[in-house]
């Protein structure tokens, strides 16, 4: 074997946590290399969070323009220029690339563009994108490999050349009829965006409700709101076969409780979950154990089964959010400095950026019941929050779970305008173990959406005597 180049730390995959760790270690004087095969900065700024939210914002503008008359603004006919939508997104991605390249330069971490593969313990061979190979070895290796879209094993689906979020966010044309396979995060966000741009949209969800993690009342409210925009949903629907080519014509045969039906669309988007990028890169050969679903097995300190090798983000089975990958970085950073931080005790919030968004932190009713935790539940329709009198954003509701036997807030879900921002206030109270009456009785600025927290918490039933 050729002589390897030595580093103090090697990060394979420039995911959200990995790049931060690389910059941190390099700034503290270590010799650090990051191997990335495709996206400077990983998927979040290139093909996932930021690009999707960028195009969804364009879709929101289209929606507002279409409904401008309701607010007294006179417009002419409204149409979407998808080439312009894409260019605005591409310009943002270019700014992100420039930011990341500058961070590599100023930190001193070396970014190596190529595909990495473990060839021995803590040793990575890189097929460089520009040709040739490099052999890198390090005292510590950090895996931040991310995931890719699952293509479900539906006959004809793969041959149809389906869009994933990556291709969908690169379209410069409007699909006449977009069929979306999966009613989770990606499916709902993209379905609403394309509906607002002007496509006909059908969502096929195999589970009994949209957004399987959420309480049925939350899923139903999302279903109702998006149906109201003209999206058709088939829930509890098994896709049996796909014929044709995405981009031309696709026919999807589905079975529901009502019988079999064939939906004919112009394009099909898969949004059916994720597969970790862990296959065929020598992980197990290098002593790094995978779990039954292909995720890297880690302990609560993100250490793998191989000494001196950590994993973070989606490939380590962490919840699939950028802020979690970033927190994985903070855990590893602090533990390298002698700390004892764990992934076990963290509170993970999230937000689905439909309009209105869905936000949740902590337990929902179904989870509390499953875990046998007694709770007191309070609800407030968004229409009861005074701000919505001004904005007409009356859809949705908030729901809070308070402990049955003390005043701790155990969970909060909101579907409605500014849900993510309201959630952050509740999360802060939860982190501080603030008894709910303190937040209920706080003076919150009028006319914010968070003002609704007072009446919401005012609806918490008294403790059982
Ligand atoms: C459409 C979409 C929208 C999303 N929106 C949000 C959102 O709004 N908020 C949110 O919190 N999360 C969102 N997510 C999830 C979020 O993008 C991820 O959880 C986040 O990027 C964390 O990823 P990561 O750190 O695990 O790895 P990633 O950021 O995916 O990075 C992994 C990197 O490893 C590289 N790589 C893999 N294998 C190799 C190899 N062998 N050699 C070299 N390089 C390799 C990949 O090219 C990739 O760049 C979204 C996801 C999708 C798909
Ligand atoms: N706003 C955000 O934070 C955001 C946005 C997008 C993605 N993400 C992250 O990315 C992850 C992946 O998103 P996703 O939407 O791909 O997965 P998901 O797990 O959220 O949803 C996938 C859905 O597809 C359904 N499904 C699976 N196979 C199917 C089939 N054959 N036919 C029809 N339906 C099928 C599942 O029942 C599920 O409801 C999310 O779990 C989330 O963590 C986050």
Superfamily of 356-458 according to CATH: FAD/NAD-linked reductase, C-terminal dimerisation domain (3.30.390.30)
Tell me, in angstroms, the distance from the centre of ligand 2 to residue 8's CA: 37
CB 50 within 8 A of CB 57: no
CATH classification of 158-272 is 3.50.50.60, yes or no? yes
Q: 356-458: same fold as 158-272?
A: no
Which CATH class for the 5-147+275-345 domain? Answer: alpha beta
Closest ligand relative to 208 C-alpha: 2
**Ligand 2 within 6 A of 10 CB?**
no
Question: What pLDDT score does 166 carry?
Answer: 98
Buried b (16+ CB within 10 A) or exposed e, 207-245: eebbbeebbeebbebbbebbeeeebbbbbebebeebbbe
Q: How confident is the model at residue 245 (pLDDT cuts 50, 70, 90)?
A: very high
Report the distance separating Cα 196 and Cα 136, nearest Å. Answer: 48
pLDDT digits (tens, 9 = 90+) for 384-441: 999 999 999 999 999 999 999 999 999 999 999 999 999 999 999 999 999 999 999 9
Probe target for ligand 1 pocket from 57, 145, 278, 315, with the most ligand atoms within 8 Å of CB = 145
Over residues 446-453, the mean pLDDT reads: 98
How many C-beta neighbours within 10 Å does residue 53 have? 15
Q: How confident is the model at residue 447 (pLDDT cuts 50, 70, 90)?
A: very high
Report the distance separating Cα 61 and Cα 84, nearest Å. Answer: 13
Checking if the pLDDT of 1 tops 80, the result is no
Tell me, in angstroms, the distance from the centre of ligand 1 to residue 329's CA: 14
For the chain, what's the residue count? 465
Report the distance separating Cα 415 and Cα 440, nearest Å. Answer: 19
**Ligand 2 within 6 A of 274 CB?**
yes
**Ligand 1 within 6 A of 52 CB?**
yes
241 contact partners, CB below 8 Å, separation of at least 6: 154, 155, 156, 252, 253
Question: What pLDDT score does 465 carry?
Answer: 78
Question: What pLDDT score does 383 carry?
Answer: 98
**Ligand 2 within 6 A of 299 CB?**
no
Buried b (16+ CB within 10 A) or exposed e, 295-307: bbebeebbbbbbe
Write down the domain spans for the chain: 5-147+275-345, 158-272, 356-458
> Rounded to whole angstroms, what are the CA distances from 103 to 67, 106, 252, 301?
42, 5, 46, 26
CB 395 within 8 A of CB 358: no
Cis peptide leading into 29, omega within 30 of 0? no
Question: What pLDDT score does 49 carry?
Answer: 98
pLDDT digits (tens, 9 = 90+) for 98-116: 999 999 999 999 999 999 9
Probe target for ligand 1 pocket from 17, 40, 42, 128, with the most ligand atoms within 8 Å of CB = 42
Joined tokens for residue 237: 């629907």
Report the distance separating Cα 123 and Cα 86, nearest Å. Answer: 39
Checking if the pLDDT of 305 tops 60, the result is yes
pLDDT digits (tens, 9 = 90+) for 326-343: 999 999 999 999 999 999
The answer for 69, left when phi > 0, alpha when psi is -120 to 50, beta otherwise, is alpha
Mean pLDDT rounded to a whole number for the chain: 98
pTM value is: 0.98
pLDDT digits (tens, 9 = 90+) for 251-266: 999 999 999 999 999 9
Question: What pLDDT score does 345 carry?
Answer: 86
User: In the Cβ-directed half-sphere of 455, how many Cα atoms lie within 13 Å?
Assistant: 15
Nearest CA to ligand 1 atom 34: 13
Tell me, in angstroms, the distance from the centre of ligand 1 to residue 410's CA: 29
> Rounded to whole angstroms, what are the CA distances from 440 to 297, 363, 384, 400?
42, 19, 15, 12
Question: What pLDDT score does 2 carry?
Answer: 77
Over residues 130-150, the mean pLDDT reads: 98
């Amino acid at each position: 074997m050729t002589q390897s180049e030595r580093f103090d730390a090697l990060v394979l995959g420039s995911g959200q946590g990995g790049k931060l760790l690389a910059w941190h270690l390099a700034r503290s004087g270590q010799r650090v290399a990051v191997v990335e095969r495709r996206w400077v900065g990983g998927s979040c700024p290139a093909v996932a969070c930021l690009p999707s939210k960028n195009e969804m914002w364009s879709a929101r503008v289209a929606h507002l323009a279409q409904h401008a008359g309701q607010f007294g603004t006179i417009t002419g006919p409204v149409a979407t220029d998808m080439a312009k939508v894409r260019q605005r997104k591409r310009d943002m991605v270019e700014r992100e690339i420039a930011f990341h390249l500058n961070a590599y330069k100023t930190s001193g971490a070396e970014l190596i563009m190529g595909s990495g593969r473990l060839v021995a313990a803590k040793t990575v061979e890189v097929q460089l994108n520009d040709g040739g190979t490099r052999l890198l070895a390090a005292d510590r290796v950090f895996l931040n490999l991310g995931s890719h879209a699952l293509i479900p094993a539906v006959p004809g689906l793969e041959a149809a050349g389906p869009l994933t979020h990556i291709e969908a966010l690169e379209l410069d044309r409007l699909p006449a009829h977009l069929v979306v396979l999966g009613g989770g995060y990606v499916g709902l966000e993209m379905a609403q965006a394309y509906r607002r741009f002007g496509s006909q949209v059908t969502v096929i969800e195999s589970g009994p409700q949209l957004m399987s993690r959420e309480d049925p009342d939350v899923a139903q409210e999302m279903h109702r709101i998006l149906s109201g925009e003209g999206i058709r949903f088939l829930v509890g629907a098994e896709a049996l076969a796909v014929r044709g080519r995405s981009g031309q014509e696709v026919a999807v045969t589905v079975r529901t409780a009502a019988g079999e039906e064939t939906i004919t669309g112009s394009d099909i988007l898969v949004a059916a979950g994720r597969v970790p990028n862990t296959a065929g890169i020598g992980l197990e050969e290098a002593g790094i154990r995978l779990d039954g679903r292909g995720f890297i097995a880690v302990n609560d300190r993100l250490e793998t089964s191989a000494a001196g090798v950590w994993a973070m983000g989606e490939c380590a089975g962490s919840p699939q959010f950028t802020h979690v990958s970033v927190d994985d970085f903070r855990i590893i950073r602090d533990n390298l400095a002698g700390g004892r931080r764990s992934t076990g005790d963290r509170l993970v919030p999230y937000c689905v950026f439909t309009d209105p968004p869905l936000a949740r932190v902590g337990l929902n009713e179904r989870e509390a019941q499953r875990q046998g935790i007694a709770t007191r539940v309070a609800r407030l329709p968004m229409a009861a929050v005074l701000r919505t009198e001004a904005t007409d954003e009356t859809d949705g509701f908030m729901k809070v779970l308070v402990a049955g036997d003390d005043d701790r807030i155990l969970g909060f879900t909101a579907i409605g305008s500014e849900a993510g921002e309201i959630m952050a206030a509740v999360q802060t109270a939860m982190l501080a173990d603030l008894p709910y009456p303190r937040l209920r009785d706080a003076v919150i600025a009028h006319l914010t959406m968070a003002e609704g927290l007072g009446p919401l918490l005012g609806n918490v039933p008294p403790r059982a005597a």
